[in-house]
Structure 1
Amino acid sequence: MKTLNLTTASFRASLTRFELKTCFYLVLAASLFVLSGCASADKAPPAELQAAEQAISKAEQAQVTRYSSIELNNARTEISAARVAVLEKNIPQARRLALQAQLSAELALANAELMKATAVNQDMQRSIEVLQQEAQRNISGVKL
């Protein structure tokens, strides 16, 4: 039975070329994996920017500018600032600004829907009042 000699010279000598290549590729793959993890942390926050852009687009399609243009303008300003923060590699600020832009666009959409619903409600109230007046006229005009 052979005893194991753990010196580096004997270790290298006992490895075949195939084993050396395999070890090299394993170390290389592990290094690339670690480096790719570090590199992805510095990338732009695509999910936050994409969500904000979708919210702004949805608000624009709903013609929010008629009802709440201030909030939509705020959203546009915030998404622009988020893009600048990405260019400056300030990812935490970019994420925060993108989230603010998304929330501003959603607020604009909610305000527009509220104003639309209020207008519909007022129209219905006027219609009810007209119907009540018609009913009163008919009742008072009927002789028993």
Structure 2
Amino acid sequence: MNTPILNQSSIMPNLIARPLCRLSKGAIVLASMVVLLAGCAAAPLPPSVELQNAERAISSAEQAQVTRYTSTELNTARTELAAARSALLAENMLQAERLAVQAGLSAELAMVKAELLKARAVNTDMQQSIDALQQEAQRNLSGVKP
């Protein structure tokens, strides 16, 4: 009996080629569409909520008149919001979102810093009043003889 010796190198290409030949054009088109749609679904959405939050924070800071105490942070917030809008127009959604969030945080920082400076001013006024009362009390006590 002469058994033919099978050469593995001649079998493998046939085993690989057969399943690929069995794929229909419809299956290939369907697989391509699935890959394409998966890529589209991963695109980030416009950061409308973040932009609204930043606009609201800047508006609140303006209404609280924080520029009396600090204008640097509020100007930074305005600049970051403008940059976020530019990034949105350029369809760079991730950068637009990051800048919008940063603008909101800068506006909140302006509010907090203004509150701190207001509190310090009140503290200074109170301390001056206390000092004046202590001086007056000392004068009154020095004029009294035991």
Q: Which residue of 2 aligns with 1:76?
A: 78
The normalised TM-score by structure 2 is 0.70
Which of 104, 107, 114 aligns to 2:106? It is 104
Q: Which residue of 1 aligns with 2:121?
A: 119
1:72-125 CA-to-partner distances (Å, cap 9, x unmatched) read 000000001101111111110001000110111011111111111000000000
| Aligned-partner Cα distance in 1 for 2:52–2:90 | 18
Q: Which consecutive unaligned segments of at least 5 residues does structure 2 have? A: 1-36
State whether structure 2 residue 138 is matched by structure 1 residue 136.
Answer: yes
Q: Secondary structure at the match of 2:46?
A: coil
| Percent of paired sites with the same residue | 66
State whether structure 2 residue 53 is matched by structure 1 residue 51.
Answer: yes
Answer yes or no: is the 8 Å Cα contact 1:42–1:89 preserved in 2: no
> What stretches of structure 1 move > 3 A for 4+ residues in a row?
none
State whether structure 2 residue 97 is matched by structure 1 residue 95.
Answer: yes
- What code does the residue aligned with 1:115 have? L
| Aligned-partner Cα distance in 2 for 1:76–1:42 | 24
- What code does the residue aligned with 2:122 have? V
Q: How does 1:15-54 map to 2 (within 5 A)?
A: 38=41, 42-54=44-56
- Calculate the aligned-residue CA RMSD, in Å: 2.0
Tell me how far 1:38 sits from its aligned partner. 3.8
Tell me how far 1:42 sits from its aligned partner. 4.7
Q: Which consecutive unaligned segments of at least 5 residues does structure 1 have? A: 1-33
| Aligned-partner Cα distance in 2 for 1:67–1:80 | 23
| Aligned-partner Cα distance in 1 for 2:134–2:67 | 36
The normalised TM-score by structure 1 is 0.71
Tell me how far 1:43 sits from its aligned partner. 3.9
Answer yes or no: is the 8 Å Cα contact 1:44–1:91 preserved in 2: yes
Q: Which residue of 2 aligns with 1:22?
A: none
- What code does the residue aligned with 2:113 have? N
